[in-house]
Structure 1
């Protein structure tokens, strides 16, 4: 028998695999189950793995496979509705590369028509694009000059999320999004830089950081 939360998580993973071919991130699982922390997700994943409902795939980022689903009587049915991890999880996806994004002083973003090959396993559901990082203001988050930021398109953000923020409809920057009273604060991750504060009507969220790609 599975607990209600275990069943909810297993169903969510199975549905996401069926929809996108890639298992959801721990952050997405936490939000889907309305959990307070990712440690709760870890415990549920471990319990499902111990009971043989899922398995982790070695050498593949955040890759899970649903091996069986519980039947309506509370037992299990091997593979009856389980969706295996997609065979193309390690394939490359061509993302639109829209120029360079400032991790320092804002510069214009969302330009250029090149593409960037990205491992499918790095991406979750949704529409994505890539930007090359210019500057060093996010180094304490491990985001370095020359890295490629993989961005999930969205126009909303929660406090603490790293976003592409379009400022005054002309310049874009990669920063941590926070609300501060009636203002929006864009925080760097480098002690050498100060936070940037704007009125809400000056800032348009154009995406959230979904992953990072570094070439050596």
Structure 2
């Protein structure tokens, strides 16, 4: 099953190929899908290629061949029903794991995120995972991460769980975010901003709050869902 963004990109490529005989540029894809960077387009292209929907032709610029379309889309029209994600309130209570339902979408698991000692920043997808469509909060790109560590256990986020993240660069006080520190290490913590400083709060008394200058912290996304591993 394809994600909403994968379907949108496949539709864009197919329509442009039918009209002009050439695929759109990565910049055009980025703008059309309202993504912040071309790295997101690269992930979508790779996912479509791995699933056999497109093929990139070597040594040729913008050379992409559409091999097939999802059955639900047919060859024209692109009228498939894709589940919309409802709005999500900020987690004031422990995060509740959500069962994976039949009506699900796939997201890339982009590596492990530290709920403890920060680990190296997220890089390449590890695998895909099915998540309930209702977990996807609002517009924007989503991805998943595997939790490593126990610093967020008091909010019900355990070692080995999968967290669903919506990509965004801002956060409100109290949000649980993926924070990139010094462009080197990534961690999952509660976010608070105070007088030019960022507090990254654990939800485990065994871990101290990290207080860092705002210039050293970049928000990479906000937690919108959790899948429990048993």
CA distance in 1, matches of 2:88, 2:222: 16
**How much does 1:94 deviate?**
1.3
Residue 51 of structure 1 is matched in structure 2 by: none
- Partner of 1:124, secondary structure, is coil
CA contact (8 A) 1:139 1:189 kept: yes
CA distance in 2, matches of 1:23, 1:117: 14
Q: Which runs of 5+ in 2 are unaligned?
A: 1-80, 91-97
Residue 77 of structure 2 is matched in structure 1 by: none
Trace 1:80-119 onto structure 2 (pairs within 5 A). 90-113=102-125, 114-119=127-132
Residue 180 of structure 2 is matched in structure 1 by: 166
CA distance in 2, matches of 1:122, 1:184: 27
Residue 70 of structure 2 is matched in structure 1 by: none
CA contact (8 A) 1:90 1:120 kept: no
Q: Please, what TM-score do these two structures have when normalized by structure 1?
A: 0.60
- Partner of 1:201, secondary structure, is helix
Residue 123 of structure 1 is matched in structure 2 by: 136
**How much does 1:24 deviate?**
2.2
Residues 1:181 and 2:192 aligned together = no
**How much does 1:181 deviate?**
1.9
**How much does 1:90 deviate?**
4.3
**How much does 1:23 deviate?**
5.5
Pair 1:23–1:105, CA change in 2 (3 A): closer
CA distance in 2, matches of 1:181, 1:20: 42
CA contact (8 A) 2:86 2:135 kept: no
**How much does 1:116 deviate?**
1.4
Trace 1:55-66 onto structure 2 (pairs within 5 A). none
Residue 89 of structure 2 is matched in structure 1 by: 27
Pair 1:202–1:107, CA change in 2 (3 A): same
Residues 1:140 and 2:154 aligned together = yes
CA contact (8 A) 2:83 2:133 kept: no
CA contact (8 A) 2:88 2:137 kept: no
**How much does 1:201 deviate?**
0.8
C-alpha root-mean-square deviation of aligned residues, in Å? 2.2
Residue 44 of structure 1 is matched in structure 2 by: none
Note the alpha carbon deviations across 1:138-183, whole angstroms, 9 max, x for none: 0011000000010000000010000000000010000000012221
